[in-house]
Amino acid sequence: MYDENNIFAKILRSEIPCNKIYEDNYTLIFHDIKPSAPVHLLAIPKGKFKSFNDFILNAPQEHITSYFKSIQNITNNQKIVDSGYRLITNHGNHGMQTVEHFHVHILGGKLLGPIISGDKFHT
């Protein structure tokens, strides 16, 4: 179930502020409050989507397309296409998702390092 009181739902309802850089009918993109890189943005779809799975399974195709195109546009505007960037989305417990409204992290502006820190996985 989607929790109406998650922090990004409150941002979408303008109950708490965010440092917005882009908005249209489908998408809101704003700065992460605790940036991990010189560019660290969060792209969230409007609507009640808990995670990547929920969004892809339940959002209309035009919403999905518009949302991901907006992310691409922002990488262009932020001038991180040539230097490189990383998109991350965390889903659920093992993904360590902390805010249960689907979001993609847009990271760039420096060499980001290995994708996962810590010990290597051994079988």
Q: Compute the distance between CA of residue 73 and CA of residue 30 in angstroms, rounded to an integer.
A: 14
Residue 67 beta carbon to ligand 5GP: minimum distance, rounded to whole angstroms: 16
Label each residue of the chain as H, E or C. CCCCCCHHHHHHCCCCCCCEEEECCCEEEEECCCCCCCEEEEEEECCCCCCHHHHHHHCCHHHHHHHHHHHHHHHHHCCCCCCCEEEECCCHHHHCCCCCCCCEEEEECCCCCCCCCCCCCCC
Distances (CA, A) of 3 to 17, 37, 112, 123: 19, 29, 32, 36
Query: Is residue 44 part of the contact set for ligand 5GP (CB under 6 A)?
Result: no
Residue 122 beta carbon to ligand 5GP: minimum distance, rounded to whole angstroms: 26
Identity of the residue, 99 or 112, whose beta carbon is nearer to ligand 5GP in the bound complex = 99
Which residues does the annotation mark as catalytic? 103
From the list 31-39, 47-55, 73-81, 106-114, the region that binds ligand 5GP by CB under 6 A is: 31-39
Among 6, 73, 75, 97, interactor with ligand 5GP by CB under 6 A: 97
Query: Is residue 56 part of the contact set for ligand 5GP (CB under 6 A)?
Result: no
Number of residues that bind ligand 5GP (CB under 6 A): 13
Among 6, 99, 109, 112, interactor with ligand 5GP by CB under 6 A: 99
Question: Contact residues for ligand 5GP (CB under 6 A)?
Answer: 7, 18, 30-34, 42, 90, 96-99
